Amino acid sequence: MLWRYALFSCALGMAGLPIYIHAPKYFVEQYEINLATLGLALLLLRSVDFFQDPLLGRLASSTLSRGSSPLWIATAFMCLGMILLFAIPAVTSPILWFSISLIILFSGFSFAYIRIYAFGVEAFGMDGQIKIAKWREGGTLIGICLAAAAPSILSITGSNGYKNFAFLFCALIIIATFLMTSDFSKTFFKVQKQTTSIFPKDVGLQRLLLFVFLNAMPVAVTSTLYLFYVDHVLGLEVMGGPLLILFFLSAAFSAPFWTRWAEHYGALQVLRVSMLVSILSFVWAYNLNAGEVIAFSIICFATGLSLGADMTILPAIFAQRLAKTKHDPNTGFGIWNFSNKLALAFTAGILLPLMEFAGFETQDMRSSLSTEVLKISYAIVPCGLKIFALIWLQNLIGRDKNL
């Protein structure tokens, strides 16, 4: 079962990256969409995305008696959305086509994400979460790496790399869903007696969700500013993709080690260590200047190692708490998704205007003031947010001995 679970997670990982990275770039290059229009569309789409997650969690819970059928519908949505995005030319306004395609894709993706994480709670219980996290998050990270590299590799022959990627994804997710069908049919009755309220009533879960939000904010900052930093501080525009792949490969490499240490030393202790590693590694990005590719590669590798812990241990802790409190894992991971995506939207909405207020100018990003504001925002602000999240985690542990 574990290898099938990892394969499905790998396919989901391949879908996640295009939602936020490939699709905007592809539509700008293919249809010359105005950046301001695209930015507004993305803001509205992300708002729809994170607001619908709690509702999708409730939907996943209410359709348990349908077995694997809802998962097949989610798979169909993802395939349709991916093909509309990359394989079929827009037959209407490109920005409208872009928006409709992404809504279809991320709706299917979010439902499948919620259901596959809830399945982990249902099938493996409280004691098995660290073990399955190694397979699930390892598969996800491999999928992200494949998605990052696939369009370029698949275009080597001169064909449309994005179109080929869309069909490759569809083939993989259909195979993965088929292989998971029997597993879902065996487990869907196990949560019938659990609470189905969307927001958890357990205080420990509420505090843990706040930590999830706080811990996602540093990643939201760096995700928003990564390409700006690489292009305009380091002057390494052509290295943006390879460095991103290095970051995720490092996370995939480290995931099995973090889970092994979590089983031996305790999940929370290991999570705290990984957060310290992240802070001590990433703060050095502030001191880098143009052309320092080796130094930034080391930072990407080191912070990627810590990401492996974030992606494996934290979901496992949350899943353990869901199992312990008997809160429905479908609605639980719906709120989990909401917390992570809210951090992304909140950070982008607050950070970018503050950067502009501090002197960052998009028309002159290489000026000394703009560079300094960008370096502080990209390197120092996330470390400060991570320290705050670490303090909250320590407070959380002190308040709740059951974590």
pLDDT of residue 190: 52
Backbone angles phi, psi at 357, to 5 degrees: -65, -35
> pLDDT tens for residues 236-253?
877 887 898 899 899 989
Segment 114-127 shows an average pLDDT of 83
H or E stretch covering 94 = helix 94-124
pLDDT of residue 92: 92
Better-scored residue on pLDDT, 161 or 28: 161
- The residue with greater pLDDT, 168 or 363, is 168
Chain centre to alpha carbon of residue 85: 20
pLDDT at 46 over 50: yes
Distance, in Å, from the CA atom of 231 to the CA atom of 251, rounded to the nearest integer, reads 23
- d(Cα 363, Cα 370) in Å, to the nearest integer? 10
Q: Quote the pLDDT of residue 129.
A: 82
Work out the end-to-end distance of the chain between its first and last CA atoms, rounded to an integer number of angstroms: 27
| Range 193-403 classified under CATH 1.20.1250.20 | yes
Q: What is the pLDDT of residue 189?
A: 47
Superfamily of chain region 1-190? MFS general substrate transporter like domains (1.20.1250.20)
- The per-residue pLDDT for range 296-328, each reduced to its tens digit, is 999 999 999 999 999 889 888 888 888 888 788
> What average pLDDT does the segment 225-234 reach?
85
Predicted model pTM? 0.81
The two tokens of residue 11 are: 């396919």
Q: pLDDT for 273-304, tens place per residue?
A: 999 999 999 999 999 999 999 999 999 999 99
Over residues 320-356, the pLDDT tens digits come to 888 888 788 888 888 888 888 888 777 767 887 788 7
Same fold, 1-190 and 193-403: yes
Question: Is 50 exceeded by the pLDDT of residue 219?
Answer: yes
Query: Where exactly are the structural domains of the chain?
Result: 1-190, 193-403
**CA gap 131, 268 in Å, rounded:** 15
* Chain mean pLDDT for the chain: 85
The confidence band for 362, taking pLDDT boundaries of 50, 70 and 90, is low
Q: Which residue has the tokens 């390197």?
A: 379
What tokens appear for 302 in the block? 């080191």
